[in-house]
Amino acid sequence: MTTANALTIPGLETVYDALATAIDQAGPEKAQLFLVKLALLNANALADPEQFSGHIDAALKDL
Amino acid sequence: MHQPTTEARPSIYYQYQVFQPWLASRHPAQKRQQVVIVGSGPSGMVTALELARHGVASVVLSAELQFSQGSRAICFTRRSMEILQQVGVAERMTEGGLPWRFGNSFYRGQRVFRMEAPHDPDDRFFPIINVQQQYMEEYLHDACQANPLIELRWGNQVVQVEQQDGYARVTVDTPEGEYQLESDWVVAADGGRSPIRSAMELQMEGASYEGFFVIADIKIDLPLPTERLAYFDPEWNPGNTILMHREPNGIWRVDYQLPVGETPEEALRPESLKARIDAQLEMIGFGGTPWEMDWSSVYSARTLTLPDYLHGSVIFTGDAAHLLPIFGVRGANTAFQDAQSLAWHLAFVVKGLAGPQLLANHSAERVGAAREIIDEAGKSTRFMTPPSAGFRLLRDAVLSLSLTQEFVRPLYHWRTSRPHEYTHSMLNSAGDDNRLFTAGPAHGAPPQNVRLGADDFLLDHLGGGFDLLYFTEAAALPAPLQQVVDVTRARGVPLRVTAVGAARPVAGADQTLADADGHLRARYGVQASGAAYLLRPDQHVCARWLTLDATRLQAALATALPQ
């Protein structure tokens, strides 16, 4: 999926580490809840339900 | 032989009267009725009262000998009060009721959302008023008793409805045995478990949700205002929701969700009820306050409707026609709108003022309303009682975020019942100026109430037939309009003309509202004399014009009453 405002490689690496660390911090029981909260916060920042649906479709692929 | 209990139902605050059963042997042989209404709940009695207002007699059959058990429906919306005003019981509702407009949602001891329902100075009634259903039924029953066109038969249980050619034969069981009753029309207002619906093997469409809720009414003295209280995921009932409402007569409604797997029988055991109510009182800071149980029941959320309410001579209405979740107070409040709609559509067909299409329109409009409610209520229900792991996860994420994140808090709003707008009704006039208005109620919308003076509102002056609001400063109604009005009335169609905007009574109008400050005109988007609104007998708008002429009035009336 390509978007106009993509992350830089260093930016992507920062997000990668931060997300992995936060999932570990939330712990296995709360990881799902944490990820859903995060998705809602990101969706609100995105402010575009259609684009968010596109993200859902992309994430559902190849599970 | 039908033997309803003759023992008065128990209640802390309401003294039940046990009525005498109606027995066929004590009455002369019966002619065929025009309308038989099965069920004496909110939809049955409002249908009877509105039919009578249009001059149509009815027989109302109640299987029981007394009003319903427990408080049941307790929250009545503004639109319900406007409908109850039309049938003459709004004053008694107001006298005994507790009005309110705020709702609060709590999570982890924090108030995370406060709903403030708007209260326009132009509205006579509050957004919601709490009255126990027995009182509401008593007020409606008294109004029925006072009406010579309504015959209410207690202890009469319908056991069979047979469709005949153009009428129905109803078999009624009573304490002395069965009798038969013929009727051109049968209104099935026999409640959510509608035996008539079951016997006719009609299938409802929609969804049922798994969670059970307990409703318990307790007598307790709590120093809290009349506001809705909702508690999410409390420690004593993890993952579930608790609702509380103040009722009149020192009663509180406590409504809580059951843990998955618990049966209604287990939940209604006295020790189970006590433990949970004590835990809830403890959580809100009133542990140890003495209380007494009045009534308890169990329900589950369903969003179901029949796809058509008209089946031969039988018309379904209220809970018999659809089952709606109580989140958003949609049971009785929807039933009143159903009944108001049904009564005028049916009355006009019975009186030969319109063809059978009018009843098909009633069904189409109210099925549409039920589907809209199902869509809205489904959202609230999925939040209150998540139907799957995904919905539960999202709900829990929203609860958690709501402690710090403003943007998710509106999801706590449970979309209180509001009147459906019949925007695409076949009764709306095609050639009017609906689209040219920039304000005021549009096609199919219920009317906007307007305060005219102290204890004087627009809706006090409307209803009972078609209403033409004609905005004019002239001394008289134009002759061509007057002629259409006269011809319409000569045909038997009730049409009241209300002139708005003239200082002196307008000749040809039944009443004149001066509207000296122009406020009514402003609310209706009227900028010049000659504009008009046509309201149906249920007060919904079916035509509006910037400049009314006789031809277009005639056309609108013809569209509203298809032959």
Q: How confident is the model at residue B57 (pLDDT cuts 50, 70, 90)?
A: very high
CA A37 to chain centre: 10
Residues B82, B333 contacting (CB under 8 angstroms): no
The yes-or-no verdict on residue A1 having pLDDT over 70 is no
Residues B206, B303 contacting (CB under 8 angstroms): yes
Cα B232 to Cα B105: distance, rounded to the nearest angstrom: 7
Domain boundaries, chain B: 30-88+118-203+303-375, 434-560
Q: Decide: helix, strand or coil at residue A10.
A: helix
pLDDT of residue B380: 84
Domain boundaries, chain A: 28-63
Among chain A residues, CA nearest to B394: A36
**Cβ contacts of A37 on chain B, cutoff 8 Å:** 397, 400-401
pLDDT of residue B385: 84
Q: E strand or H helix at B80, and its extent?
A: helix B78-86
Closest by CA to B253, choosing from B97, B67, B72, is: B72
> Which pair of tokens denotes residue B227?
């506001």
Residues B24, B176 contacting (CB under 8 angstroms): yes
Q: What is the mean pLDDT of residues B177-202?
A: 97
Q: How confident is the model at residue B418 (pLDDT cuts 50, 70, 90)?
A: confident
Beta strands in B23-80 (DSSP E): 33-38, 58-61, 75-77
Lowest mean pLDDT among B13-17, B249-253, B296-300: B296-300
DSSP string, B189-220: ---TT-HHHHHTTPPPEEEEEEEEEEEEEEEE
The yes-or-no verdict on residue A39 having pLDDT over 60 is yes
pLDDT of residue B526: 97
A interface with B, Cβ–Cβ below 8 Å? 32-33, 36-37, 39-41, 44
pLDDT of residue B209: 82
Q: Which residues of B42-68 are buried (b: 16+ CB within 10 A; e: fewer)?
A: bbbbbbbbbbbbbebbbbbbbbbbbbb
Mean predicted lDDT score pLDDT of chain B: 95
Residues B237, B256 contacting (CB under 8 angstroms): yes
pLDDT of residue B507: 97
Partner residue facing A33 (CB), from B397, B405, B407: B397
pLDDT of residue A3: 59
Domain B434-560 has CATH 3.40.30.120: yes
Q: Which CATH architecture has domain B30-88+118-203+303-375?
A: 3-Layer(bba) Sandwich (3.50)
pLDDT of residue A4: 63
Distance from CA of B235 to the nearest CA of A (A): 17
Complex ipTM: 0.92
Q: How confident is the model at residue B415 (pLDDT cuts 50, 70, 90)?
A: confident
Q: Decide: helix, strand or coil at residue B280.
A: helix
Q: Does B394 touch chain A (CB under 8 A)?
A: yes
Q: What percent of chain B has pLDDT over 90?
A: 90
Is B401 close to A33, i.e. CB distance below 8 A?
A: no
Q: E strand or H helix at B261, and its extent?
A: none
